């Protein structure tokens, strides 16, 4: 869908990404740039980054890679309100229709074109905040108690495998599996996740 936006701002973002961020895709009709960025401090290894140019602003959003299901909205909202309330620049946003959760920072571009420092600061704010709270948000998203996590690669893999069995998370799973495959395993951590349901069908029965 075509939307109105400033070509000057879009060119500003394009030049910044060409210089700093490497590979990205660009939807010219929407004025939207998107890419996956490294996030070693998060539980996901990489996070989706979006830069949406407007007529007088640039919206920067780092997205939580898993769609939130309605039955877990309350738990995720509780994490956002109780644990993430003290953010000085930007805010979390959860779309109740799509289940998309993101941390958004708006760059005001009225009568000015942002320089590299402004864009770096805004992206860094969104990136750091989503990374910092990714462990608690992941626990809330899969319906586990939100506590000080004993974060380990194997433990989080088990959580994500449980989520994948229970929910249809769409194409984001391809991205997440690629990210996990790039990480080394750590020691197993016991979890209380439900066992994988048995397959009722016997292979070979016709």
pLDDT for res 182? 42
Quick one: angle between helices 153-166 and 116-141, nearest 10?
Answer: 70
Q: Considering only CA atoms, which of 75, 124, 120 is closest in space to residue 103?
A: 124
Name the band, by pLDDT with cuts 50, 70 and 90, for residue 191: very low
pLDDT in tens, 61-100: 999 998 999 999 999 998 888 776 667 788 899 998 999 9
pLDDT for res 162? 52
Q: How far is residue 19 CA from its own chain's centroid? A: 23
φ/ψ (deg, to 5) at 7? -65, -30
Name the band, by pLDDT with cuts 50, 70 and 90, for residue 54: very high
- d(Cα 165, Cα 196) in Å, to the nearest integer? 8
For 14, half-sphere exposure in the C-beta direction (CA atoms, 13 angstrom radius) is 12
pLDDT for res 147? 67
User: Which residues make beta-bridge pairs with 52?
Assistant: 32, 59
pLDDT for res 124? 92
Name the band, by pLDDT with cuts 50, 70 and 90, for residue 148: low
3-class DSSP state of 37: strand
- Per-residue pLDDT at 110 exceeds 90: yes
- d(Cα 62, Cα 51) in Å, to the nearest integer? 9
Higher-pLDDT residue of 30 and 183 is 30
- Per-residue pLDDT at 149 exceeds 70: no
- d(Cα 102, Cα 95) in Å, to the nearest integer? 9
Q: Take residue 59 and report the two structure tokens written for it.
A: 């919206």
Decide if 67 contacts 98 (C-beta within 8 A). Answer: yes
pLDDT in tens, 12-22: 999 999 988 67
Q: What is the number of other CB atoms lying within 10 angstroms of the CB of residue 133?
A: 21
DSSP class of residue 72? G
């Amino acid at each position: 869908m075509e939307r109105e936006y400033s070509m000057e701002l879009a060119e500003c973002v394009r030049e910044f990404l060409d210089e700093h961020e490497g590979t990205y895709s660009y939807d010219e009709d929407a004025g939207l740039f998107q890419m996956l960025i490294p996030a070693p401090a998060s539980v996901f290894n990489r996070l989706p980054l979006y830069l949406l140019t407007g007529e007088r602003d640039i919206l920067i959003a780092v997205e939580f890679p898993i769609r939130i299901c309605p039955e877990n909205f309350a738990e995720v909202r509780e994490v956002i309100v109780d644990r993430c309330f003290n953010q000085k620049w930007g805010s979390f946003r959860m779309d109740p229709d799509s289940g998309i959760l993101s941390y958004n920072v708006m760059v005001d571009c009225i009568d000015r074109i942002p320089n590299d420092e402004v864009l770096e600061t805004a992206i860094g704010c969104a990136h750091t905040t989503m990374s910092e709270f990714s462990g608690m948000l992941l626990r809330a998203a899969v319906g586990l108690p939100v506590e000080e996590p004993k974060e380990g690669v194997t433990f989080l893999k088990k959580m994500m495998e449980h989520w994948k069995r229970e929910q249809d998370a769409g194409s984001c799973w391809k991205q997440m599996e690629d990210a996990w495959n790039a990480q080394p395993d750590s020691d197993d951590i016991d979890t209380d996740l439900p066992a994988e349901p048995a397959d009722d069908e016997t292979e070979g029965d016709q």
